[in-house]
Amino acid sequence: MKRFIRSLLTSVRHRVKTETSRMPFESAFKDALGFIHRNKLDGDYIEFGISTGSSMVEAVHYAAHFGKHTMTFHGFDSFEGMPPPTGQDKEESWKEGDMKGSYESVTKRVWAHNYSVKFYKGWYTDTLQEKHTFVPRIVHVDSDYYTSAVEVLTFLSKYPLDGVVIMFNDWFHFNGNPERGEQKAFAEWCVAENIDAVPFGTYAGKIQSFILNRRKV
Question: Would you put residue 115 in left (φ > 0), alpha (ψ -120 to 50) or beta?
Answer: beta
State how far the Cα of 199 lies from the Cα of 94, in Å rounded to an integer: 27
Paired sense of beta strands 195-203 and 207-214, if any: antiparallel
- pLDDT at 173 (0 to 100): 87
- 62 confidence band (pLDDT: 50, 70, 90): very high
pLDDT in tens, 128-181: 988 888 999 999 999 888 999 999 999 999 999 999 999 999 999 888 999 999
Name, in order, each residue with C-beta under 8 angstroms of 194's C-beta and a sequence gap of 6 or more. Answer: 214, 215, 217
State how far the Cα of 9 lies from the Cα of 54, in Å rounded to an integer: 28
Q: Which domains does the chain have, with CATH numbers?
A: 2-214 (3.40.50.150)
Region 32-50: what's the mean pLDDT? 95
